[in-house]
Structure 1
Amino acid sequence: MAAKSNPTVRRRRLGAELRRLRMARGLKSTEVAERLMVSQPKISHLENGNRAVSPRDVRDLCAIYEVTDQQFIDSLMEMARESGQRGWWHPYAGLSDSAYIGLETDAASLHAYAPTVIPGLLQTPAYAQAVIGETIPPPTAEQVATRLKVRLRRQHRIYDPARPLRLWAVLDESALRRVVGGPDVMREQLEHLNALSAEPHITVQVLPYGAGAHPGLSGQFAVLRFADGPEQGVVHLERFTSDLFLEKPSDVLRYCMMYDDLQARALTPDSSRDFIVGTARTYIDTTVPH
């Protein structure tokens, strides 16, 4: 079984394991729900990792699936107990991206394509505040402060000396040209981006306008992988009202192929640093037109 991880990842992996056991027995979720005398949506929520699984749920499901290996059952029940724990982000109420934060916190690597804005993990406080402030519906000052605090807390993953996140980021040129927060904020942001790209565990590439049409035109995406299950990647698609997570191996493979294509079309890391430096200079002594 996987090593200890945060509750979000634990729930999703436990749910996937329970789904595998059900399908191995040739049972439909409606049949399992009927035998447990619960609703079918509950079984779906458990298998999709949308809710914590109790050890009792695991015990009852293992009985239905005729699992006899007690050591295996015990490991699933321990995973269930851990799935009910709270991550550092849970005290912050109203976070729409809490599921993603849970995955990001435990990820070993992250491949992100950003077509319009600098990724949150690479944002300066001023840039992040400007982005958060444009959320619809408009957030209150207190909500902006809370979301900013959470975003900066997320960045601990790339500064963690024990296990820094291996981060690849392909940024469309639009993300560098779009003036967020004003010229001074943009110059500081690009200088910060260049400094981070010099870190050995962070790779930044710029996809210039000259690259023309490419597979990333459909929008941003990120591929997360985990140390204790690198083959079990998760694709994150951020949407306006709700996020989408893809875990089917065929879907993950498709997005990995798309990312490889974007990296091949983008400037090399060294050329990207030069490009970012040149773009940062354009924000010196400039003003935003009214």
Structure 2
Amino acid sequence: MGWEGFGARVWAARRSLSLSLDYLAAQVYVTTGMLQEVESGALDPGRRVTQDLDRELRLAGQLWDAWAAAHLATLLQGGATVTDALPEVLQVRAYAPLVLPDPYLTDAYATALHRAERPMACASLDEDRPHVGRLLPTSGSAPYHCLVIDEGALTRTLAGPDATRAQLLHLHRLAQSDRITVHVIPTGTPYHPGLRGAFWTLNYSPAHTLVYTPQPCGPGHLTSEATHVKTYADLFATLQGVALSAEDSLHRITEIAARVPTPERRALHS
């Protein structure tokens, strides 16, 4: 179903409840003109407005799912990258076996990671990598995030002690947010099925999810193919099951940060 079909559903539901355009627009905090564009199929209303419409029109999630289907079809038909896909996401689940994903990085650590990757990266392809915004502990309007990460990604030396400690403390602060959960898979955990590479699942509604697989160069790959989505969702659940709890993961991050040499320790050692 495209945007014309979506708009027709909004129009039919509004008429069935005998609601005026002006009244419904006021209830969902948009202009009457914008709601007219939605009903005509000329505009993607976005997830927030759609959820409000779904509630006001008493559609029990049906309109939300219809929006997600149309939104994902538009993204994939347009050759979208993960940067294009993220703004309307409800929940991001990310698994990272080697390095922290971009949203969790400090500027200093991101610079060190970029420097480490540069020898194996083609400059022209590096320019094609997605630019993903950084998370902040106070990002109240951000989607929900759940990160599962191997402990080796936190202990691997990529930056100096100060930048490394700052990165770990930043991750710790993020993990205390109501919208961000971090699970650490401890070093020494037996073989698990996530060792072949990183992936994200991007959830737009209860029934519609994209999978993103990042790559060292280029934009990575997005897919909504149902079998792949289910496989990655099951894989994430398995990885979360072998990881530490969110509370124990916070303690582990603190322990790792405490082992990073401080300036005083370096001075005493020398």
Scaled by the length of structure 2, what TM-score is found?
A: 0.65
Q: Which structure 2 segments of 5+ residues have no match?
A: 1-5, 8-43, 48-68
The size of the alignment, in residue pairs, is 198
Q: Identity across aligned pairs (percent)? A: 26
Q: Which residue of 2 aligns with 1:284?
A: 261
- What is the CA deviation profile of residues 65-110 of structure 1, one whole-angstrom value per residue up to 9, with x for unaligned ones? xxxxxxxxxxxxxxxxxxxxxxxxxxxxxxxxx7111112221100
Q: What's the C-alpha RMSD, in Å, of the aligned pairs? A: 3.0
Q: Which residue of 2 aligns with 1:19?
A: none
Equivalent pair of 2:122/2:217 in contact (CA under 8 Å): no
Output the amino acid matched with 1:237.
T
Q: Which residue of 2 aligns with 1:77?
A: none
Asked whether 1:4 is paired with 2:45, we answer yes
Counterpart-to-counterpart distance in 1, 2:187 and 2:172: 19
Q: Secondary structure at the match of 1:217?
A: coil
Equivalent pair of 1:232/1:249 in contact (CA under 8 Å): no
Q: Which residue of 1 aligns with 2:242?
A: 265
Scaled by the length of structure 1, what TM-score is found?
A: 0.61
Output the amino acid matched with 1:253.
K
Of the candidates 121, 134, 143, which is equivalent to residue 155 of structure 1? Answer: 134
Q: Secondary structure at the match of 1:218?
A: coil
Counterpart-to-counterpart distance in 2, 1:105 and 1:211: 35
Q: Secondary structure at the match of 2:81?
A: helix
Does 1 or 2 have the higher relative contact order (CA < 8 Å, sep 6+)? 2
Q: Which residue of 2 aligns with 1:208?
A: 186
Equivalences for residues 133-172 of structure 1 within 5 A: 133=115, 134-135=117-118, 136-137=120-121, 150-151=131-132, 154-155=133-134, 159-161=138-140, 163-172=141-150
Asked whether 1:250 is paired with 2:227, we answer yes
Q: Which structure 1 segments of 5+ residues have no match?
A: 16-47, 52-97
Q: Which residue of 2 aligns with 1:72?
A: none
Equivalent pair of 2:136/2:174 in contact (CA under 8 Å): no
Equivalences for residues 1-290 of structure 1 within 5 A: 1=6, 4-5=45-46, 12-14=72-74, 48-50=76-78, 99-133=81-115, 134-135=117-118, 136-137=120-121, 150-151=131-132, 154-155=133-134, 159-161=138-140, 163-226=141-204, 229-242=205-218, 243-285=220-262
Output the amino acid matched with 2:158.
V
Counterpart-to-counterpart distance in 2, 1:199 and 1:266: 19
Equivalent pair of 1:234/1:245 in contact (CA under 8 Å): yes
**Distance of aligned partners of 1:271 and 1:247 in 2 relative to their CA distance in 1, 3 Å threshold:** same
